Amino acid sequence: MIKRVLLAAVLAWAGAMSVSGCVVRERTVARPGGCPGGVWIEGHRGYHGEWYRGYWRCPGRAWR
């Protein structure tokens, strides 16, 4: 009886883990003028949970 319950729990957990995951959305972002070699930084959460929207990082510029 306990083995069946444990097996059912493991199978349910495995099923839930197989369908969950992160969603990646691709989109085209226009490159800004005057930023040769720029790199697009996706939106992300900082160390304390604050949200930073996506931005271009340009070589030679101090910030964004």
**pLDDT tens readout for residues 17-41:** 666 555 556 666 676 677 777 888 8
Comparing CA positions, the residue from 7, 57, 15, 51 lying closest to residue 32 is 57
pLDDT range class, residue 52, cuts 50, 70, 90:
confident
**Residue-level pLDDT at 19:** 62
Residue 11 has pLDDT above 70, yes or no: yes
Single pTM value for the model: 0.42
* Of residues 31, 20, 22, 21, the one with CA closest to residue 54: 31
Q: Cβ distance 33 to 44 under 8 Å?
A: no
